[in-house]
Structure 1
């Protein structure tokens, strides 16, 4: 079972763990590998979460910061919203931004336009090295009451930039990397612009949203668009208390999402702050032993709390992700449990696809080629729908290895060729795409 850990390590680049990779080749970022060219029209699925649960989610997302600090009143933009791009724009920044804004207009009903002059939302692209000198742990972020990177850096030395003090939003700054892959740049736009327009918190217990720090969902989902539509509904107003919003949510959701029904599961238990610290520590620790120790702690807390949602599933995934070679059998069992859990949760096809990627790698190493084909078939659909090029190309390459091993060489060759543009989109360069292909080829060797 030690081989399981080796397979997990090889596929670490697809794991939802933020790592600083090599600088992408921006010359490759042409229209041919834009989201529209690769994935076509967006196809988000309507959420399967009951309205009663969505209402609870919105209250927790919107009236609490990630730190746990309470927000007293509803905060949002009022009226039409403008957005401006600034800084060192990546080649596809305009295309990806306009595609996002089109979705926000169609799916969330927002009146939002891009313009070149002063705007409400200012998206500034900054080199990653420069960004991390000021905010070392951030890949991208959103802050209130400033309109530029230089103004933000000046304010870092003083006071302000406090979301809990903002009622009507007027000016917001989104900082995104100027030298990232297309996928990372796109992901930052989706998550940070969504927080500029809606709730500010992240909840690990919700599987189908970008408002979750597990980083599985990377583009706005059907759930997310519904939340934005509710948050900006005309029957809500800036300054409303949590209780006032709570009274209005059932009627709003019944109108916007009649399929959500009037019932729902019991309210989930609060997320233990010790669990959050263990998860974040596992993801940021500098040694494998420390990461595994904290992942094991998070799993223990999740089990003790009796959770049966994405918090337990993610804990199982992290346990497997960081398990040492001697715990290979336990890692495989944890992945199997995580896949089963995600399979039973609403809106969790994408998290399950990440888990199944690792299970398929294990199956390939064990020459279980039919199982590889079974796992990748369902996961490829989820990866394509969620426009995740890194995940999709890796699944396609795993599938190609299994097909080749079964003698379907021509089909495998075609699948590898088809995976290339998605790999460039997700990994950023020919070198990185080739490395991913070679890593997966190694999995099939004796």
Structure 2
């Protein structure tokens, strides 16, 4: 939720000095020691049995994926060459197709051609934490989000930063119990949010590791103005960081996944945990001024081919 600014009127101590006389001021008596005040810390609520089961499940998932050589953090290497042809095809599938369509009030997985969408206004990433998240975890999550924001700003050339209040891209760190009860918070963050989207977020099933919802201006314009990412706090560290990388990047205008994208986090095979060089190239293309929000795939393709050729030095 957005914080409210407050202006405090403080008292100013003013010393007056009188010339021409000498004042003898007796020493002040020793001050009594101030009473020790123990800060009151709100107790962390006990997670439900369902939330604990989610934590065990995700810990086992991460352990299995790592053991299978997945969730790589190296960003790719000689085994994952990037060609212009593949980069163009991956951009088209990831940036110019939607993964889900809203049908009869529900989000249904359906590959649908779409228009190019991205942010025109500066992106202000703001972290929100459920009461279940300890202070140490909050500090770590903010550090990761802030470092990532700096990287995304460098890659895209678009103003992206982390803020403590007044955000327009909200990253919600919630456990299962808090996710179920998130309706009032969602309405506060995005007053125009539809009930079907609230229902989708509060009911996210266990197999959906994390999710992001980006909202355009009224009238279906291609400019994003706000977004909400859901990060489950039952995730162990690597899955949690992986979710931040993927959902924030997708919320910038890369809404889809592709089974052929490699090395990439925009691939449901979970081979890579963190944003790769391939994914940075996708973001560079997305925010290149030669592309216009609203372009359809056939309009964008010739421009994307030129940009990809320049980024890869003409490699085929």
TM-score normalized by the length of structure 1 = 0.43
User: What is the 5 A alignment of 1:215-364?
Assistant: 215-258=270-313, 261=315, 263=316
Aligned partner of 1:122 among 156, 167, 170:
170
Root-mean-square deviation over aligned CA pairs: 2.9
Mapped contact 2:95–2:254 kept (Cα < 8 A): yes
Give the equivalent residue in structure 1 for 2:64: 15
Mapped contact 1:45–1:222 kept (Cα < 8 A): no
Aligned partner of 1:64 among 97, 100, 115:
97
Aligned partner of 2:153 among 100, 105, 114:
105
Gaps of 5+ in 2: 1-59, 67-72, 100-108, 181-201
More helix by share: 1
Give the equivalent residue in structure 2 for 1:96: 144
Give the equivalent residue in structure 2 for 1:48: 81
User: What is the 5 A alignment of 1:133-212?
Assistant: 134-136=203-205, 137-145=207-215, 165=220, 167-212=222-267
Give the secondary-structure state (helix, strand or coil) at the position aligned to 1:86: strand
166 and 142 in structure 1: CA distance in 2 versus 1, 3 angstrom threshold = farther
Rounded to whole Å, the distance in 1 between the matches of 2:287 and 2:62 is 36
Give the equivalent residue in structure 1 for 2:31: none
Give the secondary-structure state (helix, strand or coil) at the position aligned to 1:227: helix
TM-score normalized by the length of structure 2 = 0.60
Rounded to whole Å, the distance in 2 between the matches of 1:213 and 1:86 is 26
Mapped contact 2:262–2:278 kept (Cα < 8 A): no
Mapped contact 2:212–2:230 kept (Cα < 8 A): yes
Mapped contact 1:83–1:119 kept (Cα < 8 A): yes
| 1:133-187: CA deviation from partner (whole Å, max 9, x where unpaired) | 61113221001239xxxxxxxxxxxxx9xxxx56110111001123432222211
Give the secondary-structure state (helix, strand or coil) at the position aligned to 2:111: coil
131 and 139 in structure 1: CA distance in 2 versus 1, 3 angstrom threshold = farther
Cα offset for 1:48? 2.4
Give the equivalent residue in structure 1 for 2:125: 83
Cα offset for 1:223? 0.2
Give the equivalent residue in structure 2 for 1:21: none
Cα offset for 1:202? 0.8
Give the secondary-structure state (helix, strand or coil) at the position aligned to 1:170: strand
Cα offset for 1:49? 1.3
Paired residues, number: 212
124 and 13 in structure 1: CA distance in 2 versus 1, 3 angstrom threshold = closer
| 1:267-289: CA deviation from partner (whole Å, max 9, x where unpaired) | xxxxxxxxxxxxxxxxxxxxxxx
Mapped contact 2:116–2:253 kept (Cα < 8 A): no
Mapped contact 2:227–2:251 kept (Cα < 8 A): yes
Cα offset for 1:86? 1.0
Task: Point out which structure has higher relative CO (alpha carbons under 8 A, 6+ apart).
Answer: 2
Give the secondary-structure state (helix, strand or coil) at the position aligned to 2:120: coil
Gaps of 5+ in 1: 1-10, 18-38, 147-159, 264-446
Question: Could you list the runs of 4 or more consecutive aligned residues of structure 1 that deviate by over 6 angstroms after TM superposition?
Answer: none
